[in-house]
Amino acid sequence: MPALKAYLAGPDVFLPNAAAQAEAKRTICARHGLIGISPYNPELDFSLPAAVLWRRIYLDDIAMMQGCDLIIANLTPFRGASADAGTLVELGWFLGQGRPAFGYSNTAEDFGARSRAQMRASPDPLPGIEVEDFGLADNLMIQGAVEYGGGVSLHLPPDGRSRAFDALDVFERCAAAAALETRR
């Protein structure tokens, strides 16, 4: 059977060393028998008008997703209580397509605690808005997407200690599990 292609979604594309991070993830995937496909594209012409450029990135990403068998989503919180917005749309897309979804987060703190921290830093626009607090890593639709879409839970730091934003050891555990689950 040819190796499966894993779409490597995440805010990694925004890192200052995005190209090196993408390469490191592809190397880890290869170690576990997966072909990692990163949405990071250094050949994009960033001199294009914004209205052309973002649509090109969107359509390129959708085309890459179409060509992938599964997603491994970096669900580490990004600029708010939850994971990166684009990554979440992509996670939902794989779920909607019935293609396996896997995810990980480098943050050990749970969603309820992070939501309250966010509210302290930037108060809610109205009083009394509920905090979702099921002890999960993020909003329950995310937890459900990876649990019911991939057959395993969301991968978190196994020792309960948050990792650096760009650490790769939890990603490697997730990639190993994704390879194992989709091989069956």
The single residue among 32, 38, 61, 182 that binds a copy of itself, judged by CB under 8 A, is: 61
- Whichever of 19 and 176 has its CB closer to a copy of itself, that residue is 19
- Angstrom distance (rounded) from CA 44 to CA 42: 6
Query: How many residues of this chain interact with a copy of itself, rule: CB under 8 A?
Result: 64
- Whichever of 42 and 127 has its CB closer to a copy of itself, that residue is 127
Site of tokens 């890459």: 64
Classified as helix, coil or strand, 40 is: coil
Does 143 contact a copy of itself by CB under 8 A?
yes
Does 165 contact a copy of itself by CB under 8 A?
yes
- Whichever of 31 and 79 has its CB closer to a copy of itself, that residue is 79
Rounded to the nearest 10 degrees, how much is the dihedral formed by the CA atoms of 45, 47, 51, 57? 20
Residues in 25-54 at the binding interface with a copy of itself, rule: CB under 8 A: 50-51, 53-54
- Angstrom distance (rounded) from CA 58 to CA 121: 31
- Angstrom distance (rounded) from CA 165 to CA 184: 31
